[in-house]
Each structure stands twice: as C-alpha cells, then as structure tokens.
Amino acid sequence: MRVLSVASECAPLVKTGGLADVAGALPAALAGQGVDMRTLLPGYPAVMAALGETPEVARFDDLFGGQGRVLAGRAGGLDLLVIDAPHLFARAGNPYLGPDGRDWPDNPERFAALSWIGAHLGVHGAQRWHPQILHGHDWQAGLMTEYLRQMGGGPATVLTIHNIAFTGTTDVGRMHSLRLDPNRYTVDGYEFWGGISALKAGLMGADALTTVSPTYAEELMTPDYGMGLDGVMRYRRESLTGILNGIDTDAWNPATDPAIHPYGDLDGKAANKSALRAEMGLPDADGPLCVIVSRMTHQKGLDLVLAALPALLDHGGQLVLLGSGDPALEHGFRMAGEQHPDVAVRIGYDESLSHRLIAGGDAILVPSRFEPCGLTQMYGLRYGTIPVVGLTGGLADTVINASPAALAQGVATGVQFSPVTADALRNALVRLCQLYADRDIWPRLVANAMAQPVGWDQSARAYAALYDRLAAAR
C-alpha cells in the first residue's frame, strides 16, 4: 500500500506541536502493516539542510508566486518529498509565524502550494512511485481535495484533524490567488461563514476523516468543541473515525533514555527526582513533585493551574514548569516561581529537559480545556509519572481515573477531573496528594501507568485497515 502523507511539519525535522510527532511516527509505525508511506513537506531551511543534494522529481514554473520544484530524498529516518520553493518557505524560525509573532501574511498561499503539490503527486506520482492514498493533516493540506477535483480526480483521500480550532480561514478575495473554482464557493465546498476555509474544504471533500482520539471525534460534533464546524462534522459523521495517537516508545523509554538516569520501576525514579530538584533549585518536600511541559495557551488550561496552585503547595507539593506562549501566563508563572520556593519555572523549550522533567516528576499536569489527543500524558504514563488531566478528548481515552472502583480493581493510572475549572483542579490536586501519601496505593498507580500500552501498534492497524477499505472502493 503506497500512501503519501502531506503535512506542514514532521519530527524530527521541524516541530511546533503534536502534529509533527504524529507525522514523524506514522511511517515507521505503518511499515509493519505493509504500508509504504512517504511524507510531503515544505522545504523550510532545517528540512533543506537535512535533505542535502537529492534528485528533482517535479518542477513548477509558477508555484503561487515563484518557481518551485519537488525533491526526493531521505532525512531524519523518513522517505521525503520536499517542496523547494524559497519564495514560500526559505524563512527562519517558526513555519507559521514571522519574527513579530504574527502569522506570515501569505500563509494561505504557502500551504495552498503544499496542497497543490500533494494533489499533483496524487495524479502524476513521483518518478515511478504513485500513491494509492493521499493522507493530509489539518488545514494546511485541506485544499488538496479541491485541487484534485480540478485535476480530474486521483487516489482516495484521508484528512486527519489534529486540532479543529485552526480552520485555515482567509478572505474570499483570495479565491483567485488560491486557484479555487468560484463555483465551489458554497456550503458544500470551501465557503465558511463568508470566507474561505481550507479545513472546511478538506472536511467536505475527503473520502474519509479521522481525528486523533475517539472522544474528540464525538466532541467535534457538538457546538462546544466544533469551532463552528460541528454541523459539517455531523454531516460527515459516517466518514469520521477516531484513531488514538501513540508515542514513539523508543524515543520515550525510561529504561534506555540517554537524557535521564535510566530506570524500570518506582525505585528507579528516585534518582531522577533528586537530580531534577537539584537542577531546578527545589528543596525536599513531603508531597508530590508535579511537572508541566506545555505550550502556554488558554486551551492548555494553565491559568487554572495558577489559580489552584496554593492547594498543591499547602499539601506539601511542588511544581516545575517548562513552556512558553501567552505573555500573561509566562508572567504569572514567573511570579509564582519568585514567590514560592517550591515552584520552579523555565520559560522556553528544551527537548532534553522535557525528558528530565517527566522522568523526575511524580505527576504531570495536563489540565486542557480541550485536547484532541495529547501526548504528554502518554509520556507520563510511560515514565510512571501520574497524569492529572481534564476529562476531555484523548485525555479521557488514555487515562484511567483513580476512582474507588478502578482502585479496587487495580487498573487506575491517573487522576481525571471534570468540569475543567479551577475548583475541580484544586480538588484533583488534593486527591493526588492523598494518593501520593498512601504507600500502598501509589506504587500500584505507578506500576499500572508504566504497564499501559501507549505505542502505535493498535492505531497503525486501524490506519492500515482504513487505507485498505478506501483503496478497495476505488
């Protein structure tokens, strides 16, 4: 089965969030299911540097404002097709944001080019390799189905929604520059509340839709979570499947992780906890050491942590945060770190430090207001770092709440709270401290967490089965 994955970012080459982790992990995960997946990526500077000199497989004289070509090669352990278009992608820093922290003004055209070339490769292939499935990710690949339609059709298409909050919306005046058929500016096409939405186009046009957890698939069909597209999701419900993400269990393996003191059980975590406290300047404490590794946004619920933090500290707990984002949240956590000796804050991102936090923490806080899947709670499970999570999306699907019934049956792996409010989080943190103080329950929680399957095996089988069904229907 030949599948072209079309993504705007892909680990380890370029990453701003979980989409990159998924796009980077899928090819290897699916190889065991007999899927030959290649990944189409924009030629950002980091990608071009990793790719080196490679053969050209397609050339375009006018690729949304300049010349472009497609290069085939291998980098980061991935088989790649890379769009070399300096006028669109040869820019330093974030793939989506300029130096001022705002979206690049030509983002609609930049990612229309990604979709256009995805459709072109679906129709014409790359040298002698022709995909049977085009698998696009999020709004950046959403226009691919519109372009396929203009090209006379092609292989079956899948669109995965990693976060429906990003709809790829722009002004209707861009219709011509985006090479869109004006006759498709309808409720059944790419029209979205008087504008153009690349995501809406993909949701309406793809043969199959997936999202990254079963619970998020259900949530998307409700006004609270659908971000104005809940009606579309209900309309396409028969084509929608929730397939839970996995994590790279080789990169995230406490027994072999080079960033930490390797361990395999609760006793082995002690050295990492001591090292983390020393590194972050924290004293010993009686309560749990909680960690956060997160983008600092409203979605992630970190304002709730600031409100609930006194409850954790009053019960002997500690907090270490690694993240960046909203300036007000950054300021709030900096102040908390200055005012409380049991709080340490590192603004920014450091991959190695994230491993040390998750290995050294007793618990990881993921209080998201909505979370399509989430990966950090699964990293926590893998490392025996008990997740405290809001009851939403993939957090609901991956963590078994330490309810009396789950504890009695010996299956609990974390603490869930609902509704996702500061009061509910306070209660959850008090509950966490109580569980931590119970020398019988806590070791069982950690052992259960570390035994929880968090890899790609089951999800890879689900994707492969979906591809098979779509290819057979052609």
Residue by residue, pLDDT tens for the chain (474 residues) are 999 999 999 999 999 888 998 999 999 999 999 999 999 999 999 999 999 889 999 999 999 999 999 999 999 999 999 999 999 999 988 899 998 889 999 999 999 999 999 999 999 999 899 999 999 999 999 999 999 999 999 999 999 999 999 999 999 999 999 999 999 999 999 999 999 999 999 999 999 999 999 999 999 999 999 999 999 999 999 999 999 999 989 989 999 999 999 999 999 999 999 999 999 999 999 999 999 999 999 999 999 999 999 999 999 999 999 999 999 999 999 999 999 999 999 999 899 999 999 999 999 999 999 999 999 999 999 999 999 999 999 999 999 999 999 999 999 999 999 999 999 999 999 999 999 999 999 999 999 999 999 999 999 999 999 999 999 998
Report whether 151 contacts 186 (CB < 8 A).
no
Identity at 390, one-letter amino acid code: G
269 is in an annotated binding site: no
Q: Which residue has the tokens 């046009």?
A: 205
Report whether 385 contacts 291 (CB < 8 A).
yes
Could you tell me the strand order of the sheet in which 133-137 lies? 56-60, 68-75, 78-84, 36-42, 2-6, 133-137, 156-161, 208-211, 240-242
Of the candidates 289, 297, 306, the one whose C-alpha atom is nearest the C-alpha of residue 426 is 306
Whole-number Å distance between alpha carbons of 420 and 370: 9
> What region does 348 belong to: left with phi over 0, alpha with psi -120 to 50, or beta?
left
Of the candidates 196, 163, 115, the one whose C-alpha atom is nearest the C-alpha of residue 16 is 163
Task: Quote the pTM value.
Answer: 0.92
Q: Are strands 318-325 and 240-242 parallel, antiparallel or unpaired?
A: unpaired
Helices (H) and strands (E) in the chain, counts: 18, 18
What CATH architecture does domain 2-246+457-473 belong to?
A: 3-Layer(aba) Sandwich (3.40)
- CA distances, 458 to each of 136, 343, 392, 454, 461 (Å): 21, 38, 21, 9, 5
Is 2-246+457-473's fold the same as 266-451's? Answer: yes
Which uninterrupted H or E stretch holds 366? Answer: strand 363-366
- For the stretch 372-423, pLDDT in tens is 999 999 999 999 999 999 999 999 999 999 999 999 999 999 999 999 999 9
Report domain extents, the chain. 2-246+457-473, 266-451
Report whether 200 contacts 167 (CB < 8 A).
yes
Kindly state the tokens that stand for 293. 């590794």
- For the stretch 49-71, pLDDT in tens is 999 889 999 999 999 999 999 99
Of the candidates 224, 262, 260, 216, the one whose C-alpha atom is nearest the C-alpha of residue 241 is 216
Q: Which fold does the domain 266-451 belong to in CATH?
A: Rossmann fold (3.40.50)
